[in-house]
């Protein structure tokens, strides 16, 4: 089993739709969680960190469920510019390793 798993998609949604991605992780001791965005084989960029209490940044909401060991990303009112690959990232407790999921591809169509 992979340490971090994501549905690869692709998710094809119309503009204005709400779309949600999930990511599961296997190490219950994991401490830090993030969502990164990657455009067309360019470098990944931090989208948002994920906190236990959940957090929101504009149209984006991230949540963490430690009991079920998954994190989620919700995108509301999708824009064409949201088309990208979304990477789930997990860091173990006190560790320096970083583990990336393989990514979920999103296409937003007009």
Partner 1 sequence: EAQVTQNPRYLITVTGKKLTVTCSQNMNHEYMSWYRQDPGLGLRQIYYSMNVEVTDKGDVPEGYKVSRKEKRNFPLILESPSPNQTSLYFCASGKTTQYFGPGTRLLVL
Interface residues with partner 1 (CB under 8 A) are 8, 32, 36, 41-46, 49, 87, 96-103
Three-state secondary-structure class, residue 49 = strand
- Minimum CB separation of residue 97 from partner 1 in Å reads 6
- Minimum CB separation of residue 84 from partner 1 in Å reads 14
Name the phi and psi angles at 82, rounded to 5.
Answer: -80, -10
Q: Specify the residue, 1 or 41, whose C-beta has the smaller distance to partner 1.
A: 41
> Is the CB of residue 88 less than 8 Å from the CB of residue 2?
no
DSSP element (H, E) containing 6: strand 4-6
Q: Specify the residue, 61 or 85, whose C-beta has the smaller distance to partner 1.
A: 85
């Amino acid at each position: 089993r992979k340490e971090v798993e994501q549905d690869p998609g692709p998710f094809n949604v119309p503009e204005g739709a709400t779309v949600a991605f999930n990511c599961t992780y296997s190490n219950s001791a994991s401490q830090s969680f993030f969502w990164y965005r990657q455009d067309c084989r360019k470098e990944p960029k931090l989208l948002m960190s994920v906190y236990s209490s959940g957090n929101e940044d504009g149209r984006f909401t991230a949540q963490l469920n430690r009991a079920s060991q998954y994190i989620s990303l919700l995108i509301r009112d999708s824009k064409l510019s949201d088309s990208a690959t979304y990477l789930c990232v997990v860091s173990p407790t006190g560790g320096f390793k970083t583990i990336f999921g393989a990514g979920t591809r999103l296409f937003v169509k007009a």
